[in-house]
Amino acid sequence: MKVVAILLAAGESSRMGRPKPLLEWFGKTLVDAQIDALLDGGADEVFVVTGKSDARVAPLLSNRAHVHRVHNPDFAEGKTTSVKAGVTALPLDTAVIVLLAVDQPRPAWVVRRVIESHLASGASVTSPRFDGHGGHPLLFAGALREELLAISESAEGIREVVRRYSAEMNRVEFDSAIIRLDLNTPEAYEKALRDYPKISEYPGG
């Protein structure tokens, strides 16, 4: 079964004040680190959706095996446009769609655990959970492609699909806040640089 990841990296990074994909992340750019985690975690291919910083991000993606650039010229109209750009570019034989934003750094073991749980469950939607709250990455069956293409900003975007399948959703419980980590501001980024080595540790060492 082909597992394909969409990495959203098209935002304006207005609160961060500089392009999030290019942030330094433990010896790599954040976009490179996220691509590596997705591939190491079980994704067969990664489609990186670029936008505002396309000219600076695109060179990082060229000549990388199993990595594809999808430029979204409509990025300023909202995240749903980037999700739909990514979904449109997916191979027709995609069985599992892994959706993650570049500012949500996840170690490979988290990606692998969520993918394995999704495949074993046979569910349409899988969400990692921590302390009663959902996190990322979100996983969708390839059969939901058309539903993902129908999302809109006015209908809460991807939440619309997640809510539709809430009753049967596969929920993967985590003991770490890692699945909730989000780098929205400079302060959040600096805190994550301090906290990530600890909260991203694989359980049991």
3-state secondary structure of 34: helix
Tell me, yes or no, whether 205 lies in a domain. no
Tell me, yes or no, whether 136 lies in a domain. yes
Q: What is the pLDDT along the chain (205 residues), one digit of tens a residue?
A: 899 999 999 998 888 989 999 999 999 999 999 999 999 999 999 999 999 999 999 999 998 999 999 999 999 999 999 999 999 999 999 999 999 999 999 999 999 999 999 999 999 999 999 999 999 999 999 999 999 999 998 888 999 999 999 999 999 999 999 999 999 999 999 999 999 999 999 986 5
Domain that holds residue 175: 2-199
Distance (Å, whole) CA 145 – CA 180: 25
Tell me, yes or no, whether 10 lies in a domain. yes
Q: What was the pLDDT predicted at 85? A: 98
Q: What is the CATH number of the domain that holds 64?
A: 3.90.550.10
User: What is the percentage of the chain residues whose pLDDT exceeds 70?
Assistant: 99
Q: What was the pLDDT predicted at 1? A: 87
Strands (DSSP E) contained in the chain are 2-9, 24-25, 28-29, 45-50, 67-71, 94-101, 125-130, 133-134, 138-141, 170-173
Q: State the total domains in the chain.
A: 1
Q: Which uninterrupted H or E stretch holds 153?
A: none
pLDDT tens-digit readout, 82-116? 999 999 999 999 999 999 999 999 999 999 999 99
Distance (Å, whole) CA 120 – CA 39: 19
Tell me, yes or no, whether 204 lies in a domain. no
Distance (Å, whole) CA 81 – CA 28: 27
